[in-house]
Amino acid sequence: MNINFEDSEDDAGMTEDLPIVEDKVFEEDAMKIKATTEAIVQQLHEECIKLKELMWKTTIASYVNTWENSMLEIKEVNEEAFKHLMKIPSMF
């Protein structure tokens, strides 16, 4: 099977219509994407650390009032985590 890579009549003139873009634009876009990605990862990491701390605070709560306040703090950080935890039946 031979493939012809030469310009066909259908492809003629297509490259002439495309603007020429310098590599610098792509580098700037790549840097913006990298910075945005790093910021998102950092934010998720901070949220996970906060949730971990709140989970421990909630786990060691000796009084119902303290437990409820800790759970409300979890809800402020991540409502989905709060809903998930509220589905777990209490043991005492």
Q: Going by C-beta distance under 8 Å and a sequence separation of 6 or more, which residues neighbour residue 81?
A: 51, 74
Return d(Cα 59, Cα 56) in angstroms, integer.
5
Return d(Cα 16, Cα 8) in angstroms, integer.
14
pLDDT at 52: 95
Per the document, the length of the chain is: 92
Residues of the chain whose pLDDT is less than 70?
Answer: 1-25, 92
For residue range 34-50, list pLDDT tens digits in order. 899 999 999 999 999 99
Q: Where are the domains of the chain?
A: 22-87
pLDDT at 76: 94
